[in-house]
Amino acid sequence: MRITVRVIPRAKINRVEIQPDGVVRVHTTTAPTDGKATNDVIKMLAEHYKVPKTSIKLIRGATSRDKIFEI
């Protein structure tokens, strides 16, 4: 399954929310430096979808706020 994710770095709290159009918005308190925010997004998606972190792969958007992940 592929999901489109919009990352909101430097948020006040960590949370995952699903928009009505199917886009997943992930708010993370981590700054987007050296891929740290992306790693936190993978951890939060793994918790949300109840899968191991190793089963989530970044397909596109390594340095962008808009990312595509495959679970």
Q: pLDDT digits over 3-45, tens only?
A: 999 999 999 999 999 999 889 999 999 998 888 999 999 999 9
Are β-strands 57-60 and 15-18 bridged in parallel, bridged antiparallel, or unpaired? Answer: unpaired
pLDDT confidence tier of residue 58, bands split at 50, 70 and 90: very high
HSE-up (13 A, CA, CB side) for residue 54: 0
Rg (CA), the chain: 11
- pLDDT for 7 equals 95
- Cα–Cα distance for residue pair 57/20, rounded to 1 Å: 23
Rounded alpha-carbon distances, angstroms, from residue 41 to 2, 25? 15, 10
pTM above 0.75, yes or no: yes
Does the pLDDT value for residue 69 go beyond 90? yes
- pLDDT for 50 equals 96
Find residue 57's DSSP bridge partners. Answer: 70
